[in-house]
Structure 1
Amino acid sequence: MRDRDELARRFEEHRELLRAIAYRMLGSLNEAEDAVQEAWLRLDRATGTAATEHGERGAAEGDAAGKGAVDDAAVDGLAIDNLAAWLTTVVSRICLDQLRSRAARREELVEPATGSFALDSTGAGPRPVVFTEPEAEAVLADSVGRALLVVLRTLSPDERVAFVLHDMFAVPFDDIAPIVGRTAATTKKLASRARHRVRGDTATPTAELARHREVVTAFLSAARAGDLGALLAVLAPDVVRTADPAMLPPGIASVVRGAAAVAEETVLLRSRSRVAGLALVDGRLGLVVAPHGELAAVLLLTVREDRVAAYDVVADPARLEALTIAVPPPAR
């Protein structure tokens, strides 16, 4: 690995893995890319230091490599036995530092009483919701699952890192423990608590849940496509849509009745459906509207006779806070 080009080539072999880890930890594609780039810089510095300064691994270089992120001894002579594991540790610590910084900033945040707001991806404060995403981020968010991204944001930084690494990337707890600064046993408990939050609970019978999933999925697909006919097919003729005023554009009524009116409105507001995804809400299937993985609204749907009979768009912060959101069980 003395050749920097060879080092770069080997790093590129792991870039997608690192980006996948960082995105699930941070919930932002831009921040994930930044974390991966920082991991490369630390690798480049560490290996360069090992090549030219064998006896000079001082505190300044240690700080530059990140808070305990990498001991230069790990790259002594530029020989890294397991580069993927080394880089996973580095990028995880970079993400953990960012998550802890966000948590500290959120503690100082005073949320507004009205309006449709969400925390920005840095946790710096509230901002008006924008219901659009770059195509690459939208595809990635859908592949990961918007409900999962929402739930991950509710975890503590250590819980999130432990869960992502162990449950999503099969990293052993013994390897995660030094990243979060805990024992392996405590790290296992962190992941267990996170897993419980992610999976949630539902008392809905499996067969009923499966039928509801089909209906809710059909509704979301039709809404995303702006397909008026498909919406009319999945909505009950007397469907009622209610919504918190904070979620509605000017001039839109808080209550809309009838399949035709609800379908036309859904087509009009189709950009919001493009950042929506299936979720368990208080144990029942619903939808989360989560641009950039940040919860903006929840749709509480009532399914009757295999059609959407009613749905309520919840956007008020106090109402959202009272809801328990989890990831739906896999479709069977």
Structure 2
Amino acid sequence: MTQAARDERLARFEEQRGRLWAVAYRITGTVTDADDAVQETWLRWQALPGTTEVASPAGYLTTVVSRVCYDLLGSARARRETYVGPWLPEPVVAGSADDAVGDRVTLDESVGLALLTVLERLTPAERTAFILHDVFAVPFPEIADVVGRTPDSVRQLASRARKRVRADAPRRTVDRAEHRRTVEAFLAAVTAGDLDALMSVLDPDVIWRTDGGGRVTAARRPVLGRDKVARYTCGLVGRNFDPETMRLFVRDVNGAPGLVFVDPVGEQTAVIAFTVHEGRITEADAVVNPDKLAHLDFDAL
């Protein structure tokens, strides 16, 4: 292969890199696996014989990265069955040096932590079919090549997944300003230890999930209900973060305003994503497992 041909192949790949990462993150739910899948896709693309002509580089690369992710998802599913406590996706945070939000993925409802958690309840084939068809408009015959099914079977997979997602997806506001105001009110209340103010921004049926992965102390079951969540979060901040050294940030977490807590002295970090509906928090997903935050540069926030 000539240098000009290699440069052309690299340029074609770079044109698709953002889309490939977006596909990979939604299918796998982890930044690490998404990075690995995109790298593996590049290696396979680079290894194609120089005489090979690809009619649609975008379609070919999407198929390759999806196959890689589909295989990763199968093995990851077994590991997650033995995971300690709730398993949450790895968050992407705007403003860090590893800014997946701005550079690698266009974020929307399909990448919110709450919805990605719903996708965990699907089979690998259902999840892949749903993501590729409903989010990225990939035709069923191409998805069939990824999951090793017929196009009709893939259509049924996507339909089942769609119904499950519609049934289980959390209530959420589409008003970004309202979402941010609610998160800021939560932050003010929890840092002041104001239980009454905190109760006012929590939905009566709020769900709080914490992913510690057995690496740090964390609730191993979701905390349910306004009263329990309010007392849990106030106690959590009081026990784990020193007000003299703690840094707090309101940052976009998976495309919507969330919170980042950093205590460099106590080596405690947390990234929290919120689902907000009608001015109240209905779901909160807190990632405190340091392994899932290793890709973030908190000094850059």
How many Å separate the matches in 1 of 2:166 and 2:40? 32
Partner of 2:284: 288
Deviations 1:102-127 (A, max 9, x none): 123345x2x65xxxx34487xxxxxx
Q: 1:173 to 1:238 in 2, by over 3 A?
A: closer
- Shift in Å at residue 151 of structure 1? 1.2
Larger mean Cα displacement after TM superposition, 218-227 or 92-101 = 218-227
* Structure 2 residue 142 is the aligned partner of structure 1 residue 175: yes
Shift of 1:150: 1.0
Map Cα deviations across residues 54-81 of structure 1 (whole Å, 9 max, x no partner). xxxxxxxxxxxxxxxxxxxxxxx32111
Aligned to 2:116: 149
Amino acid at match of 1:159: E
Where do residues 290-329 of structure 1 align in structure 2 (5 Å cutoff)?
290-291=286-287
Change (3 A) 1:22 1:138: closer
Amino acid at match of 1:220: V
2:274 matched to which residue of 1? 277
Unaligned runs of 5+ in 2: 210-216, 221-226, 249-258, 262-269, 290-301
Residue type of the alignment partner of 1:171: V
Based on CA coordinates, which of the two structures has the bigger radius of gyration?
1
CA contact (8 A) 1:27 1:149 kept: yes
SS at match of 1:277: strand
Offset from partner CA, 1:157-201 (integer Å, 9 cap, x none): 111110110000000111111211111111111111211222226
Paired residue for 1:163?
130
Structure 1 residues 118 and 159: alpha-carbon distance in aligned structure 2, compared to 1, 3 A threshold: same
Q: Which has the higher contact order (CA 8 A, sep 6+)?
A: 2
Q: Is the 8 A contact 1:279 1:287 kept in 2?
A: yes
Deviation at 1:223, TM superposition (A): 3.2
1:297 corresponding residue in structure 2: none
Equivalent residues of 1:22, 1:35 under 8 A apart: yes
Distance (Å, rounded) in 2 between the aligned partners of 1:131 and 1:87:
25
- Unpaired segments ≥5 residues, structure 1: 52-76, 122-129, 294-332
Aligned pair count reads 236
- 2:53 maps to 1:79: yes
Structure 1 counterpart of 2:17, which letter?
A: R
Give the corresponding residue for 1:45: 47
Percent identical residues: 39
Aligned residue in 1 for 2:158: 191
CA distance in 2: counterparts of 1:4 and 1:175, whole angstroms: 26
